[in-house]
Amino acid sequence: MQNKWDIPEISKIIKESKYPKGTLDILKYTLGEMHKRGIILTELQLTVLTNHLAEMVMRSRDNNPLDPVDEALFNGVSDKSLDLAKNITERIGNLAPSEPLVLSIHFENAIENN
């Protein structure tokens, strides 16, 4: 079976990212954590998530924080999604408090699709 990061579109996003190794590392970590939790992405969701992770790595390394968001918009997001998003943002490091909220939407959408 093909590794998810070897899918041509995913591989292209990683290769074209500013920090390919950091992007690949966090993608592998994220997919592993999702697998542990039984969260399955569609290929489109994986593509969007990979792009988002590449942007997060870039914001972290370039010290360019994401703008604040209205936390009330995320009240319906499950603890499962938020906990996973917090885990990943902590793993990347140097990210704004709004990052886990925005990232959690990827996991919440995948959970709803399963």
pLDDT by 10-residue block (mean), the chain, 114 residues: 81 98 98 96 96 99 97 96 98 98 98 87
* Helix residue ranges, H only, the chain: 8-16, 20-37, 43-61, 79-92, 99-113
Q: Could you tell me the pTM of the whole model? A: 0.95
Domains and CATH numbers, the chain: 4-113 (1.10.1790.10)
User: For residue 34, what pLDDT is reported?
Assistant: 97
Residue 52 near residue 106 (C-beta atoms within 8 A):
yes
Closest C-alpha to 11, from 62, 46, 56, 61: 46
* Token duo for residue 34: 């999702």
User: For residue 2, what pLDDT is reported?
Assistant: 63
User: For residue 96, what pLDDT is reported?
Assistant: 98
